[in-house]
Structure formats: structure tokens, C-alpha cells
Amino acid sequence: MAKRNHKIDLRLNDEELAKLKSDVEKSGWSREKYLRALIMNSPLRAKPQLELVQMLKQIQQLNNNMNQIARKAQPRSSNRSANSQM
């Protein structure tokens, strides 16, 4: 991570501050991270909601379980070919 040695002071009017607070809140980021992203022209994506993250983890676990079941249920090809030759 880059070492940050420089501090800046910034004066805003009420309208500008309200807009900044609103935008930062919508992004889910800290104000500092939000402003750095603006300065560096980085994409400003909102953080995923906690419920969505938890749901994705559950889906991944279910998918993993289904893959394990499919592997167990799949007949072994070596056994099948040996039995068919007898």
C-alpha cells in the first residue's frame, strides 16, 4: 500500500458537503477511499450488500455439494468397461 504523507484541507459549502456525504453513503466506502477513487478516475462501484454476499456464499456451498454428489453418483468408467468385457 502506498504511504500517504500528504494531508489536504478542503472547504465546501453546505450543498457541496451534503452531495459529498450522500455520494459517499451510496458508495458504501469511507470518505477517504471515495475521494481517492475520484482523483484516480477509478470506477466507483457500490459495495455489495451483506445479504447478497451471504447469499452468494450459500450458493457456492450448494454448488460444491452438488458437484460432490455428482462425482459419487457417477459410475466408474474402469469398472463399467471391465464388466462389459466379461
Give me the tens of pLDDT residue by residue for the chain, a chain 86 residues long.
678 899 999 999 999 999 999 999 988 889 999 999 999 998 877 777 788 889 999 999 999 999 999 998 888 765 555 555 55
Q: Give Cα separations from 52 to 17, 25, 27, 48 (angstroms).
A: 30, 18, 15, 6
Say if residue 16 is in the same domain as residue 42: yes
Eight-class DSSP state of 4: -
How much is the pLDDT for 49?
Answer: 76
Whether the CB-CB separation of 44 and 28 falls below 8 Å is answered with: no
Answer whether residue 17 is part of any domain.
yes
Are 54 and 31 in a shared domain?
no
Q: 65: domain range?
A: 47-77
Q: Are residues 16 and 39 in the same domain?
A: yes
Please tell me the predicted confidence (pLDDT) of residue 9.
Answer: 94
| Burial per residue of 63-82, b for 16 or more beta-carbon CB atoms within 10 angstroms, e otherwise | eeeeeeeeeeeeeeeeeeee
- Amino acid 69 reads I
Q: Model pTM?
A: 0.51
